[in-house]
């Protein structure tokens, strides 16, 4: 008989054994445990058809139809599991820990595999991870106006041995209206939460965790409420970089994109920037004056950032004034500042 275990132990075991998710591809794409393999018992169409049959004709007929569909796939299951589970021991789950996972667990055990099931299925995993974001962690936030190089600073702090999570890389978005440019499609908010928990669950709570100071929303993704609350309870190191350097950084980052794409973003910002500022930015773009475009958009983004700080105040804010274009040098300065303030303890 398969062994059932709780989400915490299931995740601990996933470091040693492969995880098989037997839900449909659509369910898996919506959200899954990071690192899990999808071995669907039913495809999207089959799952929908069986669900309809269950509602219209009852459980018995739906189960019968399901077993007929599954019976044709046993050969494929044997082949795929042979590749995915070379060590003969696996973790397996479906949505609620019901018939899908139990039926495949029975089948695989007959083939000599040891199967450990997630009690309550993926649904219990989702219930488990959200409260975990409330665990006490010493959070240091890298903040500042648009163009301050916050992401690069965060990456350099990681190279200096600090513990970091890059939320924007995880979200495939840089936060602003231009933030989707050059990025892969964003995951679902559900999958982002799963990926974030995977990173959060591996941090050492005795060490400080560095994050970029983000708003509640990154592109179309929303940060989990408990995580966002923990973030606002952190210490914000607010980077102040000369506007000229910020303009240079933005030009380097975004002038490479096609003008039509940049125009589309500027028009999207028209209501917030103001008609005149948007018109001036569009005219500057038409004559390849990317510095003027950056300066005009910064007027809007700087006000937006200050308003966000006022409306969603962080527990503690410390300004840091930097003058260098060398982000390695700036990261070292930020780290020295934090050490001198005893923020790393």
In a domain, 291, yes or no: yes
Range of the domain at 312: 135-340
Q: Could you tell me if 313 and 238 lie in one domain?
A: yes
Q: Could you tell me if 92 and 233 lie in one domain?
A: no
At 46 the pLDDT is 73
At 98 the pLDDT is 82
In a domain, 280, yes or no: yes
Beta bridge partners of 115: 90
Let me know how long the chain is. 345
Burial of 242 (0-12, 13-18, 19+ CB in 10 A): middle
* Residues involved in catalysis: 94
pLDDT category, 173, cuts 50, 70, 90? very high
Q: Could you tell me if 175 and 124 lie in one domain?
A: no
Q: Could you tell me if 86 and 34 lie in one domain?
A: yes
Total structural domains in the chain? 2
Looking at per-residue pLDDT, the higher value among 251 and 66 belongs to 251
CA 290 to chain CA centroid, Å, is 31
pLDDT category, 1, cuts 50, 70, 90? low
Residue ending a domain, among 103, 130, 157, is 130
Q: Could you tell me if 116 and 49 lie in one domain?
A: yes
Is residue 194 a contact partner of residue 34, using CB atoms and an 8 Å limit?
Answer: yes
In a domain, 230, yes or no: yes
* The pLDDT of residue 65 is above 80: no
- Residue 50 is part of a domain; what is its CATH number? 3.40.250.10
In a domain, 86, yes or no: yes
Q: Could you tell me if 86 and 155 lie in one domain?
A: no
Is residue 142 a contact partner of residue 175, using CB atoms and an 8 Å limit?
Answer: no
Under DSSP, the state recorded for 17 is S
Q: Could you tell me if 258 and 120 lie in one domain?
A: no
Q: Could you tell me if 322 and 245 lie in one domain?
A: yes
Q: Could you tell me if 42 and 160 lie in one domain?
A: no
In a domain, 255, yes or no: yes
- pLDDT tens for each residue of 278-324: 999 999 999 999 999 999 999 999 999 998 888 878 999 999 999 99
Mean pLDDT (the chain, rounded): 91
- Residue 336 is part of a domain; what is its CATH number? 3.40.50.300
In a domain, 174, yes or no: yes
Q: Could you tell me if 56 and 152 lie in one domain?
A: no
* The pLDDT of residue 150 is above 90: yes
Q: Could you tell me if 90 and 223 lie in one domain?
A: no
At 103 the pLDDT is 86
Residue ending a domain, among 130, 148, 176, is 130
Supply the pTM of this predicted model.
0.92
Give me the sheet containing 163-164, strands edge to edge.
163-164, 209-212, 139-144, 235-240, 316-321
At 261 the pLDDT is 95
At 54 the pLDDT is 62
In a domain, 345, yes or no: no
At 38 the pLDDT is 97
* H-type alpha helices, 85-171: 99-110, 121-132, 150-159, 167-171
At 318 the pLDDT is 97
For the segment 8-35, the average pLDDT, to the nearest whole number, is 96
CA dist., res. 193 & res. 260, Å (int):
33
Residue ending a domain, among 98, 130, 162, is 130
In a domain, 312, yes or no: yes
Q: Could you tell me if 174 and 262 lie in one domain?
A: yes
């Amino acid at each position: 008989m398969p062994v059932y275990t709780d989400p915490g132990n299931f995740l601990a075991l996933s470091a040693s054994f492969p995880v098989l998710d037997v839900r449909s591809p659509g369910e898996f794409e919506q959200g899954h445990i990071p690192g899990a393999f999808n071995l669907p018992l039913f495809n999207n169409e089959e799952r929908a058809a069986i669900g309809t049959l269950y509602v219209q004709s009852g459980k018995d007929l739906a189960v019968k139809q399901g077993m007929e569909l599954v019976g044709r796939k046993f050969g494929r299951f044997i082949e795929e599991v042979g590749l995915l589970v070379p060590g003969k021991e696996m973790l397996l789950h479906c949505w609620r820990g019901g018939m899908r996972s139990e039926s495949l667990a029975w089948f695989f055990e007959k083939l000599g595999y040891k199967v450990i099931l997630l009690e309550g299925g993926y649904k219990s995993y989702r219930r488990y991870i959200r409260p975990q974001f409330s665990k006490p962690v010493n959070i240091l936030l890298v903040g500042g106006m648009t163009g301050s190089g916050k992401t690069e600073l965060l990456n350099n702090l990681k190279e200096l041995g600090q513990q970091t999570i890059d939320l924007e890389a995880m979200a495939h978005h840089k936060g602003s209206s231009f933030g989707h440019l050059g990025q892969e499609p964003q995951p679902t908010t559900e999958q982002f939460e799963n990926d974030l928990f995977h990173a959060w669950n591996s941090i050492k709570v005795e060490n400080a965790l560095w994050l970029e100071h983000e708003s509640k929303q990154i592109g179309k993704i929303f940060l989990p409420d408990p995580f966002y609350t923990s973030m606002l309870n952190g210490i914000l190191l607010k980077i102040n970089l000369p506007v000229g350097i910020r303009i240079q950084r933005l030009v380097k980052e975004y002038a490479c994109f096609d003008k039509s794409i940049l125009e589309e973003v500027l028009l999207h910002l028209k209501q917030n920037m103001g008609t005149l500022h948007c018109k001036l930015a569009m005219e500057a773009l038409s004559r390849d004056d990317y510095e003027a475009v950056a300066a005009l958009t910064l007027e809007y983004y700087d006000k937006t950032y200050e308003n966000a700080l006022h409306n969603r105040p962080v527990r503690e804010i410390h300004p840091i004034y930097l003058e260098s274009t060398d982000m390695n040098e700036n990261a070292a300065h930020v780290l020295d500042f934090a050490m001198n303030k005893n923020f790393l303890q």
